[in-house]
Structure 1
């Protein structure tokens, strides 16, 4: 039995899954198995996976979303540690070795995560690679309840027994927030450790419309966190909502620059939802009904934001 189970959920990922798998096969760590969970793909994903033969264990199921796919993949695996990789991400060759070593050496550590380099769809590093964890290597639960802990599944490895005690990822989440909620749950069972090197290439996708479509699950995240942690999660909820406002404003600004005021209006309506007492939020929203102005005209008035 392999010590580490690599679980890769994929949905219509025929264009990227090979790149993800090759990064797994290139690992310096060899005591691992690879389980790929095809979550109801309708493209050529199944054919691509078939080409790998017995190098992987391919499992398929009707579409259930990311949480359900990761959970099913974990159930189909048997390693002591479970490492997740999204089908459009890649690992550096030392990812598994560096992560497994931490869990081997520290039996009280339940989860280890590495750094990640965000790249665009062409594989180029994104600007403004802000620190995801603000220099805190082993957060307390109290610290994680102060703000969103933006460590994605491709970055972490977790002990199987802890994953099972958490009940895996909460399948009420289909496309978003399942990782944030899982990390809070896992932290209740023991401490985390960090490997500071950038050992994941995390792909970024266009925000619109997916970020807007995820708003319902963001609201679910807030409700579950408030129910589970009460007043101690006030900081996390506040910062999570602030983060959502930032995303919605950014999308609206981009959409206005693209001449898509109706789409921008949808995003700004969500800003108003989060900030109902903000006059600026209403002004931005109303501007989407005005005739488009040239960038030069906007710069002359000093008013170029959506």
Structure 2
């Protein structure tokens, strides 16, 4: 029988940990191990983790989630690991569902999990990813490039450690999930998908991504560069679309240097306008892409300022 560890990277997470750890204890089949990496917290994160029976690994210096996850995977005694953000939650069926996968002899290296996306304040359900399993199986590389994949997955620990785990390069720190899955397809790890909902992902206004939108854009650009180096000749359209999307987000953050870099990278892949855009914007973009993004952003801020934070 295979075993699974719940691994929680935590920094000043005392506010959220009780909810997650209680949901871990509510599983019909217990986790074989629960590990919390305390990333040099200044609150009582470690004490709360111990109260719920978790093994605590202490980080002396704050190094971020990627480092914490890698450290926990190396320390884990289980054959499978699941990383879970401290401010999210598990449903009671999590281990029941995932055990069916890991006890299967031909289980893939990574099983993506379906989850409920919910507002952290109102608890309004915002949606579900509901990944297309057929497309994932048909062309895993293309699927990973085209889709936003987040932390919800179970991973074969030995395969995870063999490829070096998460990328700890500071350039991709704020796009760590995409960086990891990109690394996984480069190293030909196998994927599958579980459609039954097993987790809750809460939208938090103070989350790392929401609080650092521009840093996320820069990290996204660097991950796209990584993908381009490995797959640019095969999936040039899909990777170019990533650059165009990031150019839009970078313009919203008013970082015109990054807008230009995304445009230049997309054009090197022989893509001269974003796909699925309105005809007028596409036409202007083909003539002068930087001007197209600059003008559109000016119009948004002039006529629809509520769409922008600052």
TM-score bracket for the superposition, by shorter chain length: 0.7 to 0.9
Tell whether the 8 Å contact from 1:114 to 1:196 is kept in structure 2 after alignment.
yes
C-alpha distance in structure 1 between counterparts of 2:232 and 2:261, whole Å: 22
Superposition deviation, residue 96 in structure 1:
2.1
C-alpha distance in structure 1 between counterparts of 2:50 and 2:307, whole Å: 49
Residue 284 of structure 2 is matched in structure 1 by none
Tell whether the 8 Å contact from 1:8 to 1:86 is kept in structure 2 after alignment.
yes
Superposition deviation, residue 146 in structure 1:
4.7
Superposition deviation, residue 17 in structure 1:
1.3
Residue 66 of structure 1 is matched in structure 2 by 65
C-alpha distance in structure 1 between counterparts of 2:95 and 2:115, whole Å: 14
Residue 85 of structure 1 is matched in structure 2 by 84
Please, which of 164, 173, 182 is the counterpart of residue 167 of structure 1? 164
C-alpha distance in structure 1 between counterparts of 2:301 and 2:91, whole Å: 47
Superposition deviation, residue 202 in structure 1:
0.7
- Equivalent position SS for 1:214: helix
Query: Is the counterpart of residue 24 in structure 1 residue 36 in structure 2?
Result: no
Residue 150 of structure 2 is matched in structure 1 by 152
Superposition deviation, residue 171 in structure 1:
0.8
Tell whether the 8 Å contact from 1:103 to 1:110 is kept in structure 2 after alignment.
no
C-alpha distance in structure 1 between counterparts of 2:138 and 2:122, whole Å: 30
- Gapped runs of 5+ residues in structure 2? 264-287
Superposition deviation, residue 71 in structure 1:
0.5
Superposition deviation, residue 106 in structure 1:
4.1
Residue 181 of structure 1 is matched in structure 2 by 179
- Gapped runs of 5+ residues in structure 1? 253-263, 291-297
Superposition TM-score, scaled by structure 1 size = 0.78
- When residues 94 and 235 of structure 1 are mapped into structure 2, their CA distance, relative to the original with a 3 A threshold, is farther
* RMSD, matched Cα: 3.1
Superposition TM-score, scaled by structure 2 size = 0.77
Tell whether the 8 Å contact from 1:162 to 1:186 is kept in structure 2 after alignment.
no
C-alpha distance in structure 2 between counterparts of 1:304 and 1:9, whole Å: 34
